[in-house]
């Protein structure tokens, strides 16, 4: 049996209508326009963000001194704390200051008046006094040394202040004695 071909011999491909090409072109054009618009919008947003960042950086640079001051303050704090610790160590084994101040007026010889007292480093004490006679100046050093509260007492300077009144200014130094005498 001979076969019969039921399909047409010439089958032509269907032609795309012109409307399809135009629609594809319009869709592609709209896509390109949309992407261009988004790119432009994001670029503008990025430029505004860069401007804002630049302003913030300049503002921040204006406050750089705050950080420098914080660093300096931290260093000063450490310095003060170390000095305070050193002062505590220097005075912890010495007689309490309130006890010294309470007993000090009784240690002054007759005719000697204590005008000022200063504590220096390493437990050293500076005495400033006035007297009307040189012999009493020597009595100050002896009286302080014999009290047991001070040792290594030395007269540093005697100055005649007033010729008429005969007043002398004294400067003496000594060291605080350790607790329990020494």
Q: Is residue 182 in a domain?
A: no
181 pLDDT more than 70: no
Contact 144, 127 (CB under 8 A): yes
Counting the structural domains of the chain, the total is: 2
Give the per-residue pLDDT at 156: 87
Q: For residue 71, what are its two tokens?
A: 């660093």
Residues 55 and 124 in one domain: no
Residue 177's SS3 state is: coil
Give 50 or 17, the one with higher predicted confidence: 50
Whether residue 55 lies inside any domain: the answer is yes
* Residue-level pLDDT at 93: 58
Residue 169 predicted with pLDDT over 60? yes
- What is the spatial distance between Cα 147 and Cα 167, in angstroms, rounded to a whole number? 25
Reported as a single tens digit per residue, the pLDDT across 85-130 is 877 776 665 556 677 778 888 888 888 888 888 877 777 888 898 8
Q: Does 86 fall in a domain?
A: no
Higher-pLDDT residue of 76, 144 = 76
* Domain annotation covers residue 14: no
pLDDT at 15: 64
Token pair in block for residue 135: 């012999």
In a domain, 105, yes or no: yes
CB 149 within 8 Å of CB 119: no
pLDDT band at 182 (very low <50, low <70, confident <90, very high): very low
Same structural domain, 163 and 113: yes
**Residue 119 domain-assigned?**
yes
Residue 54 sits in which domain range? Answer: 20-62
Does some domain include residue 106?
Answer: yes
Domain assignment present for 84: no
Are residues 57 and 103 part of one domain? no
Same domain, 105 and 164: yes
39/106 same-domain check: no
Q: What is the pLDDT of residue 67?
A: 85
Same domain, yes or no: 119 and 55: no
pLDDT in the model for residue 26: 92
DSSP string, 78-95: HHHHHHHHHHHHHHTTB-
């Amino acid at each position: 049996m001979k076969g019969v071909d039921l399909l047409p011999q010439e089958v032509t491909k269907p032609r795309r209508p012109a409307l399809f090409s135009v629609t594809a072109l319009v869709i592609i054009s709209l896509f390109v326009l949309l992407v261009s618009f988004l790119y432009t919008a994001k670029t503008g947003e990025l430029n505004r963000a860069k401007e804002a960042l630049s302003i913030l950086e300049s503002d921040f640079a204006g406050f750089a001194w705050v950080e420098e001051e914080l660093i300096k303050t931290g260093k000063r704090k450490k310095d003060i704390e170390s000095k305070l610790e050193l002062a505590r160590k220097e005075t912890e084994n010495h007689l309490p200051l309130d006890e010294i101040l309470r007993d000090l007026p009784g240690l002054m010889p007759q005719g000697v008046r204590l005008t000022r007292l200063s504590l220096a480093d390493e437990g050293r004490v500076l005495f400033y006094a006035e007297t009307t006679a040189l012999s009493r100046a020597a009595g100050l050093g002896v009286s302080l040394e014999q009290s047991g509260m001070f040792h290594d007492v030395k007269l540093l300077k005697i100055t005649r202040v007033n010729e008429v009144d005969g007043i002398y200014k004294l400067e003496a130094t000594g060291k605080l004695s350790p607790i329990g005498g020494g």
